[in-house]
């Protein structure tokens, strides 16, 4: 034995064979790992900024109540309660206040609308003249709280109006190679766009196409006419062949198509359900646009055998009057302008119409449209915000950047602003003179609601929210396991072994203290490593 001892140093005298040093080494590894975990977590996690979830849910629950005050003539004093209940049932978003007679002037805010007694049913400015006969409640309801037309396009701050003249086949005898579009727009479209300038901006564009074949064969009728069945109308727009819209902006487009059937297929009529030709030559595609079929008189030259070059026709503004009249009616519908009840006549002596050209709509219609659109926007932005928050909650891998956060906050702020304006309305309206304040008040409501809507949909469609869905957690683990699993095993084993040794040591020490036993150090080695 002595030669062995002289050849090898006793390993327990090497400094790192000291128990405490070894434990320090193991502990330092673990400390580094523990300290590195937050860093690793930070660098590999997806950026998910907090969204004001509870605020969104709270705001989405809130009901919009747009104040509306009506002053009735003394003669209608019995109708007050009836009108109030009538509105409560149909239009929840309106906060209708009806007063009558002397009460009108007593309340400190001027009323939005007045109802006076007259033998005829007429509106002038914001005053309604109503006879004693007939239901005042129904008239007011149809004026102020009509149902939203489902054919109307959804609200957008800017629309493109695209007018297209389509020659079905320009090479078949007659071709319309021009139209006085600017004058026709000036006459028929500009009054509408300027009357609605409070709600929307418009970009107007027009084009002419000389070949626009239909995707189907129209039905041949007797006496040489052709017919479009109601089923044909649903597939009338041939998107593959007609280049109607362009993709140069994201604004929604309302299409107005003037369709000139080929000379060989004239006249082209729209058929009723029972197969008889309809008197109308126009039809509307909900939320898309309108189409008018223009049957030109047959080419003036007699139908001789030899093919002759196409006769060129230019449509003057007078030729276009009927078609553009139809377009303007379709546009009114598509933009959601409520119709006046048929019995009501509009007084021409309205002071507001003293401007250069009379507006095609009454204050009642514009105000109602502003309220309807505000209501629609608030509801849509509430829905969108709620869906955004819900989607973010449900999908854990979805990143939420600062942009989304700001958009959600901005939208929420605009929503709150609308509701704030509404809650302290009585004060803001105080000093206002009649006429202007109602529209200004309503258009500021609409502006904030449109802002809320735009921001909420921007947040919902933010492209950044899709990024991480394509890098699933499985990939991450597939890359990490080869390194981490094999490195962690010796660490864990060493730690466990050391803990075990330490516990055993402590137990023996306690036993030695109790029994005064021998030395632990000289005992046989506790563990052997191969």
Partner 1 sequence: MLWTAILLSSLTFVLGQTEEFQEKLSIKSLRDGRVASSFSFSILLRDASPRDPRFLAFDDDDSHHYTLFPLTLGQILRQYAVTELHLTLNAGKWNYDAWGYPDESGVGVGAELRAWMAEGGPSSIDDRWRGLRNALAGLFCASLGSLDEQRTTSPALSFPPDGYLPDWGLPHELRHASYASEHVCTENLTPFLKLLPCKSLSGLATLLNPHRLFDADWHGIGLHVLWHPEGVEVRLNVQLVSDPIRISSSRKQDWSFKTLFDRKVQKPCPVAKSSLVVVNLPSSGIYRVDPEPSFIKDGKAYYDLTNSPGSWNIKTVWPGDFEYPFSDSTPLVPFSVRRKLLSSAQDTGKLSIVVTNNQEEQLDLLYLETMPWIIQFYLHTARVYSDENLISNISYTLPVPHARPGTFESVLTLPGRSTLTFAMDVQKAFLRYTEHPPDAQRGWDLPPAVFTPLAHNGSTKQMRQFYTPSLLVDLATPDFSMPYNVIMFTCSVVAFIFGSVFNVLTRKFVIVRLEANGQK
Binding positions for partner 1, rule: CB under 8 A:
1, 4, 8, 10-12, 14, 16-17, 22, 25-26, 29, 169-171, 175, 177-178, 181-182, 185, 201, 203-211, 213, 241, 243, 246-249, 307-310, 312, 479, 482-483, 486-487, 489-491, 494, 498, 525, 527-529
Residue recorded with tokens 């050849």 = 7
Element (H, E) at 203: strand 201-209
Considering the complex, state which of residue 17 and residue 440 has its C-beta at the smaller distance from partner 1.
17
Closest approach, Cβ 4 to partner 1, in A, equals: 7
Considering the complex, state which of residue 190 and residue 387 has its C-beta at the smaller distance from partner 1.
190
d(CA 371, CA 434): 18
Tokens of 30: 């673990």
Considering the complex, state which of residue 463 and residue 482 has its C-beta at the smaller distance from partner 1.
482
Closest approach, Cβ 291 to partner 1, in A, equals: 18
Closest approach, Cβ 35 to partner 1, in A, equals: 17
Closest approach, Cβ 2 to partner 1, in A, equals: 12
d(CA 2, CA 521): 20
Closest approach, Cβ 174 to partner 1, in A, equals: 9
CA distances from 293 to 195, 209, 280, 527 (A): 27, 15, 9, 98
Considering the complex, state which of residue 53 and residue 171 has its C-beta at the smaller distance from partner 1.
171
Considering the complex, state which of residue 199 and residue 412 has its C-beta at the smaller distance from partner 1.
199
Closest approach, Cβ 276 to partner 1, in A, equals: 33
Closest approach, Cβ 511 to partner 1, in A, equals: 22
Tokens of 261: 């059937």
Considering the complex, state which of residue 11 and residue 38 has its C-beta at the smaller distance from partner 1.
11
In our burial notation (b when 16+ CB lie closer than 10 A, e otherwise), range 219-258 reads eebeeebbbbeeebeeebbeeeebebbeeeeeeebbbbbb
**DSSP string across 348-364:** TT-GGGGSSS--SS-HH
Considering the complex, state which of residue 106 and residue 527 has its C-beta at the smaller distance from partner 1.
527
Specify whether the CB–CB gap between 324 and 188 falls below 8 A.
yes
d(CA 487, CA 483): 6
d(CA 24, CA 36): 18
Query: Strand 113-117 and strand 127-130: pairing?
Result: parallel
Closest approach, Cβ 130 to partner 1, in A, equals: 42
Specify whether the CB–CB gap between 213 and 168 falls below 8 A.
yes
Element (H, E) at 482: helix 473-515
Considering the complex, state which of residue 482 and residue 514 has its C-beta at the smaller distance from partner 1.
482
Considering the complex, state which of residue 164 and residue 374 has its C-beta at the smaller distance from partner 1.
164
Considering the complex, state which of residue 306 and residue 431 has its C-beta at the smaller distance from partner 1.
306
What are the residues whose beta carbons fall under 8 Å from the beta carbon of 469, sequence distance 6 or more? 395, 397, 398
SS3 158: strand
CA distances from 133 to 161, 264, 301 (A): 43, 56, 61
Closest approach, Cβ 487 to partner 1, in A, equals: 5
Considering the complex, state which of residue 249 and residue 440 has its C-beta at the smaller distance from partner 1.
249
d(CA 82, CA 86): 6
Closest approach, Cβ 208 to partner 1, in A, equals: 5
d(CA 328, CA 240): 27
Select from 246, 253, 248, 244 the least CA-distant residue to 158.
Answer: 253
d(CA 254, CA 81): 42
d(CA 256, CA 242): 13
Specify whether the CB–CB gap between 260 and 135 falls below 8 A.
no
**DSSP string across 9-21:** --GGGSGGGSHHH
Considering the complex, state which of residue 207 and residue 234 has its C-beta at the smaller distance from partner 1.
207
Closest approach, Cβ 400 to partner 1, in A, equals: 25
Closest approach, Cβ 229 to partner 1, in A, equals: 26
């Amino acid at each position: 034995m002595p030669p062995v001892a002289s050849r090898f140093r006793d390993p327990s005298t090497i400094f790192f064979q000291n128990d405490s040093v070894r434990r320090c080494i193991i502990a330092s590894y673990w400390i580094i790992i523990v300290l590195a975990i937050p860093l690793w977590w930070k660098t590999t996690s997806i950026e998910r900024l907090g969204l004001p979830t509870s605020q969104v849910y709270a705001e989405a629950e809130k009901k919009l109540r747009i104040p509306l005050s009506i002053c009735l003539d003394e003669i209608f004093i019995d109708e007050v309660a009836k009108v109030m209940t009538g509105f409560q049932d149909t239009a929840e978003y309106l906060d209708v206040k009806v007063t009558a007679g002397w009460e009108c002037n007593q309340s400190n805010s001027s009323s939005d609308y007045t109802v006076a007694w007259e033998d005829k049913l007429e509106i002038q400015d914001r005053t309604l003249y109503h006879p004693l006969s007939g239901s005042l409640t129904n008239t007011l309801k149809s004026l102020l709280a009509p149902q939203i037309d489902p054919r109307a396009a959804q609200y957008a701050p800017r629309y493109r109006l695209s007018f297209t003249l389509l020659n079905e086949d320009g090479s078949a005898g007659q071709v319309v190679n021009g139209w006085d579009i600017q004058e026709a727009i000036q006459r028929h479209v500009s009054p509408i766009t300027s009357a609605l300038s409070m709600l929307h901006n418009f970009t107007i564009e027009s084009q002419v196409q000389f070949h626009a074949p239909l995707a189907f064969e129209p039905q041949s009728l007797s006496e040489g006419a052709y017919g479009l069945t109601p089923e044909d109308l649903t597939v009338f727009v041939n998107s593959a062949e007609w280049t109607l819209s362009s993709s140069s902006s994201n604004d929604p487009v309302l299409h107005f198509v003037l369709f000139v059937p080929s000379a060989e297929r004239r006249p082209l009529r729209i058929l009723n359900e029972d197969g008889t030709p309809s008197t109308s030559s126009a039809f509307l595609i909900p939320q898309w646009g309108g189409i008018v079929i223009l049957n030109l008189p047959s080419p003036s030259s007699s139908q001789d055998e030899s093919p002759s070059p196409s006769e060129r026709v230019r449509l003057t503004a007078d030729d276009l009057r009927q078609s553009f009249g139809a377009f303007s009616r379709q546009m009114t519908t598509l933009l959601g302008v409520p119709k006046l009840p048929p019995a009501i006549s509009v007084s021409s002596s309205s002071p507001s119409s003293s401007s250069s050209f009379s507006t095609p709509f009454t204050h009642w219609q514009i105000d109602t449209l502003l309220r309807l659109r505000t209501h629609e926007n608030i509801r849509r932005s509430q829905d969108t915000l709620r869906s955004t928050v819900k989607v973010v909650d449900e999908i854990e891998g979805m990143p939420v950047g600062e942009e989304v956060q700001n958009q959600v906050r901005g939208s929420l702020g605009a929503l709150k602003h609308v509701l704030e304006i509404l809650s302290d309305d009585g004060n803001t309206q105080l000093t206002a003179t009649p006429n202007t304040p109602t529209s200004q008040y309503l258009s500021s409501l609409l502006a904030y609601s449109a802002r809320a809507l735009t921001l909420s949909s921007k947040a919902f469609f933010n492209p950044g929210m899709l990024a991480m869905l394509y890098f699933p957690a499985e990939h991450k683990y597939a890359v990490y396991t080869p390194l981490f699993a094999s490195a962690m095993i010796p660490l864990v084993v060493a730690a466990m072994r050391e803990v075990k040794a330490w516990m055993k040591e402590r137990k023996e020490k306690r036993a030695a203290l109790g029994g005064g036993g021998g030395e632990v150090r000289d005992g046989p080695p506790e563990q052997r490593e191969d």
